[in-house]
């Protein structure tokens, strides 16, 4: 199909073209040419109208074609504008967004329709607001392109760095001024700058000398460690040939090293000698790596130099020592031959003795294992008592002291003081109870009979085991160690009744035998067990510690006899030597650990109208800590406790439900510990901050909490002093690249 000829646009040509088309139509219709007279005038008028109609039709066709071309061009321009790799915005003088392409909307994380007629400044970080206003002012004041770099915050609170380039623009027929601005994300470049700065700081603070040089062997960089090692300052070294550091007889090494570098290979731990500024030699280990530019071309080398003078000296001393030892070894070989002959004779005479020693050693090893396990169990029990009882109470008292210090009202101060007194009294009870458990006063200052009666009361109080004690006024054992061992043995046997016998009653009877030995019988009517197996050292974890009791009694001059049958109870007979009886002492009534008083309910935190708050969830498995922290934080006008949790799983549930700004997390908690809970919370909700708490001061626990994502980890011993400052520091503004500060939106209303 042939394209249509273009329609003329000049008036004369357009009329000729229209008349030609009209004549063609008249020929087709066989119309006559206008003649003379009135009829002819009418025909000429009709002819003019027909020509004009054709002209209008031709012009309309041309306009339609022009509009179609413009629409195609507009569609192409719109696609280029929307899908350009750079974000484009149009602002008025107040920074209101008039137009934005799809790339700009994606950059800010907002739909384009929501951006139109909104202020661009709401995406600018607080510290960058003055710079943005100054940028707009410069753009509308001149005609040249203006550039500005800003810290921004996207819709999802993610931070980014952007470079803005803007020029003023004026639309025809519109008196308002507006400007075109391109926005480029330069976050990666900013991070690269920070990484380079961090790398430079690492190089500068390294204990090893780090030297840069080009392929001609000229020094290009020189850190402080290099100054200390060689004695040259940076100004003296940079620009000088590296040969000045190499002794004359070793200068052949440098060309070889440079040749390896040119091949793209590295030199690792090459030990050699170098020369200081004062001419003295220093033994060093070199690691040389190639340096490449952005195009991957090798342009120089980085050299790490470590002083190994001391190590080399130690190696030389070790060689001398080894030589001396080698000489001594020859002498020892001769003497060993003589000793071997003597040893053979001794060996023949000691076969029986060795067999007995092996047997006894096995028994002692089993005893050592049992004692070690018992010691470890006792340590864990004591640690548990200290952590869950005494330490928590003392930290709670510290928290209430801080509350008392902050209170103005005398009644509130008195109430806090009473709570501190109560917690200190509870701490004293826990400490006294633990002290009595470890070393009863009756055992220290009284006789064994009194101590056993106190033990019976303690077992009833703490383990609900009713123990009947029948103790004669007999003499104490020969030594205190025997008395302590008998007390510990009876306590261990009663523990076994609690754990394994399945009964609530036991009997302890202490008498003196006809052989002047102290006899203690411990019996119960419980399940019973295989006595032979549990007293030969071959018991499993259910061996009840009987082997260790028997062996320890044996070492102190006593013995243990066991009688037990399955389902018919057990009877243990402990025998130990006696001395003359001292006057009898009545069993002292020793105080048992008092139960803890219930903590008062925490005071509610009230937010001031219109004020932003830091919303906090408290996670600690000890109620006294949760109550104390709640009261402490309640007196802070900008902090609100919105929830509490007693273990790690509950902390995660509360965080999911309440979406707080901050979680204060104890490390040691049941079900799920604070470190794992912190790791899950920071992974699921990166915007929520976590501050860890621990009774311990070891660096490993604190480091593990920080690696899990916590912003800080505090010791509970300094909690009342440091917690509030740490919370405010966690929500303080963060520094920008230029040294100014801007705050992310981390506090919710």
pLDDT of residue 402: 76
Contact 722, 713 (CB under 8 A): no
pLDDT of residue 368: 61
Please tell me whether residue 484 adopts helix, strand or coil conformation: helix
Residue 73 CA to its chain's centroid (Å): 56
Cα(364)–Cα(6) distance, integer angstroms:
117
Closest CA to 669 of 392, 273, 484: 392
Cα(244)–Cα(240) distance, integer angstroms:
8
Contact 625, 646 (CB under 8 A): no
pLDDT of residue 477: 63
Contact 426, 393 (CB under 8 A): yes
pLDDT of residue 476: 54
Cα(307)–Cα(511) distance, integer angstroms:
75
State the residue for tokens 């981390």.
746
CA dihedral in degrees (523, 528, 530, 535; nearest 10)? -30
Would you call 97 exposed, middle or buried from its count of C-beta atoms within 10 A (0-12, 13-18, 19+)? buried
Cα–Cα distances in angstroms (integers) from residue 467 to residues 75, 150, 431, 464, 591, in the given order: 97, 79, 25, 9, 18
pLDDT of residue 418: 80
Closest CA to 430 of 401, 466, 396, 467: 396
State the residue for tokens 């961090």.
198
| pLDDT tens by residue, 501-554 | 889 999 999 988 888 888 899 999 888 887 766 555 444 333 347 777 888 788
Determine which helix (DSSP H) or strand (DSSP E) holds 78, and give its type and residue range.
helix 38-82
Q: Strand pairing of 146-153 and 159-170?
A: antiparallel
- Enumerate the β-bridge partners of residue 302: 212, 289
State the residue for tokens 């103005």.
408
Give the DSSP letter string of 352-367. HHHHHHHHHHHHHHHH
Please tell me whether residue 302 adopts helix, strand or coil conformation: strand
- Backbone CA torsion sign across 534, 539, 544, 547: positive
Cα(164)–Cα(183) distance, integer angstroms:
5
Give the DSSP letter string of 260-298. HHHTT--EEEEEEEEE-TTS-EEEEEEEEEEEE-TTS-E
Cα–Cα distances in angstroms (integers) from residue 281 to residues 147, 206, 248, 304, 740, in the given order: 55, 22, 12, 17, 48
pLDDT of residue 232: 93
Contact 305, 290 (CB under 8 A): no
Cα(317)–Cα(323) distance, integer angstroms:
10
What pTM does this model have?
A: 0.32
| pLDDT tens by residue, 626-677 | 988 998 888 888 899 999 999 999 999 999 999 999 999 999 898 899 999 9
Contact 205, 179 (CB under 8 A): no
pLDDT of residue 553: 80
pLDDT of residue 89: 92
Closest CA to 730 of 708, 701, 716, 709: 709
- Enumerate the β-bridge partners of residue 162: 150, 185
pLDDT of residue 606: 38
Tokens encoding 175: 């008196």
Ramachandran sector of residue 352 (left: φ over 0; alpha: ψ -120 to 50; beta: rest): alpha
In the chain, which stretches have pLDDT less than 70? 1-10, 14, 26, 28-37, 65-66, 68-80, 172-174, 356-378, 381, 385, 389, 428-429, 431-446, 473-478, 532-544, 579-611, 697-698, 734-749
């Amino acid at each position: 199909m042939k394209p249509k000829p273009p329609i003329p646009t000049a008036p004369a040509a357009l009329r000729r073209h229209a008349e030609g088309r009209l004549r063609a139509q008249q020929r087709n219709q066989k119309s006559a040419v206008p003649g003379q007279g009135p009829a002819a005038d009418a025909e000429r008028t009709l002819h003019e109208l027909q020509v004009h109609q054709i002209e209008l039709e031709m012009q309309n066709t041309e306009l339609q074609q022009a509009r179609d071309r413009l629409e195609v061009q507009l569609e192409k321009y719109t696609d280029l504008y929307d899908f350009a790799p750079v974000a484009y915005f149009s602002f008025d003088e107040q920074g209101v967004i008039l137009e934005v392409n799809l790339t700009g909307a994606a950059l800010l994380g907002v739909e384009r329709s929501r951006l139109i007629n909104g202020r661009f400044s709401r995406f600018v970080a607080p510290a960058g607001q003055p710079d943005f206003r100054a940028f707009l002012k410069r753009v509308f004041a001149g005609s040249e392109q203006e550039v500005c770099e800003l810290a921004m915050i996207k819709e999802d609170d993610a931070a980014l760095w952007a470079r803005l380039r803007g020029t003023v623009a004026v639309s025809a027929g519109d008196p308002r001024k507006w400007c075109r601005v391109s926005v480029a994300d330069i976050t990666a470049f900013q991070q690269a700058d920070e990484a380079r700065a961090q790398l430079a700081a690492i190089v500068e603070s390294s204990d090893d000398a780090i030297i840069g040089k080009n392929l001609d062997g000229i020094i290009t960089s020189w850190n402080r460690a290099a100054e200390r090692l060689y004695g040259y300052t940076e100004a003296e070294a940079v620009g000088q040939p590296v040969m000045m550091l190499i002794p004359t007889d070793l200068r052949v090494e440098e060309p070889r090293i440079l040749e390896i570098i040119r091949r793209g290979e590295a030199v690792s731990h090459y030990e050699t000698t170098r020369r200081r500024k004062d001419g003295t030699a220093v033994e060093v280990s070199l690691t040389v790596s190639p340096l490449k530019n952005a195009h991957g071309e090798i342009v120089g080398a980085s050299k790490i130099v470590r002083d190994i003078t001391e190590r080399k000296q130690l190696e030389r001393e070790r060689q001398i020592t080894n030589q001396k030892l080698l000489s001594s070894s020859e002498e020892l070989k001769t003497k060993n031959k003589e000793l071997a002959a003597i040893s053979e004779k001794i060996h023949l005479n000691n076969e029986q003795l060795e067999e007995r020693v092996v047997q006894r050693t096995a028994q002692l090893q089993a005893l050592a294992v049992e004692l070690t396990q018992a010691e470890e169990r006792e340590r864990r029990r004591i640690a548990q008592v200290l952590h869950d009882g005494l330490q928590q109470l003392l930290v709670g008292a510290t928290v209430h002291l801080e509350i008392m210090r902050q209170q103005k009202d005398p009644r509130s101060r008195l109430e806090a003081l009473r709570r501190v007194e109560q917690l200190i009294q509870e701490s004293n009870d826990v400490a006294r109870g633990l002290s009595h458990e470890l070393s009863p006063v009756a055992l220290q200052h009284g006789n064994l009979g009194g101590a056993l009666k106190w033990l019976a009361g303690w077992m009833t109080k703490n383990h609900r085991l009713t123990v009947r004690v029948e103790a004669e006024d007999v003499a104490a054992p020969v030594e205190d160690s025997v008395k302590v061992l008998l007390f510990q043995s009876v306590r261990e046997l009663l523990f076994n009744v609690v754990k394994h016998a399945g009964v609530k009653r036991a009997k302890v009877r202490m008498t003196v035998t006809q052989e002047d030995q102290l006899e203690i019988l411990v019996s119960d009517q419980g399940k019973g067990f295989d006595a032979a197996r549990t007293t030969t050292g071959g018991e499993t974890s259910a061996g009840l510690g009987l082997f260790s009791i028997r062996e320890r009694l044996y070492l102190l001059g006593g013995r243990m006899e066991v009688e037990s049958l399955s389902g018919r109870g057990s009877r243990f007979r402990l025998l130990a030597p006696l001395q003359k009886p001292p006057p009898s002492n009545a069993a002292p009534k020793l105080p048992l650990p008092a139960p803890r008083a219930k903590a008062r309910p925490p005071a509610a935190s009230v937010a001031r109208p219109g004020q932003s708050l830091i919303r906090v969830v408290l996670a600690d498995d000890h109620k006294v800590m949760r109550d104390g922290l709640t009261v402490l934080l309640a007196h802070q006008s900008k902090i609100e406790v919105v929830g509490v949790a007693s273990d790690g799983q509950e902390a995660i549930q509360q965080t999911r439900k309440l979406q707080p700004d901050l979680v204060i997390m104890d490390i040691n908690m049941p079900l799920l510990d604070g470190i794992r809970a912190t790791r899950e919370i920071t992974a699921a909700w990166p915007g929520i901050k976590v501050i860890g708490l621990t009774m311990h001061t070891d660096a490993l626990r604190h480091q593990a909490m920080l690696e899990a994502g916590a912003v800080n980890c505090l010791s509970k011993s300094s909690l009342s002093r440091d917690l509030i400052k740490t919370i405010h520091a966690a929500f303080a503004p963060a520094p920008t690249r230029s040294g100014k500060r801007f705050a992310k939106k981390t506090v919710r209303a």
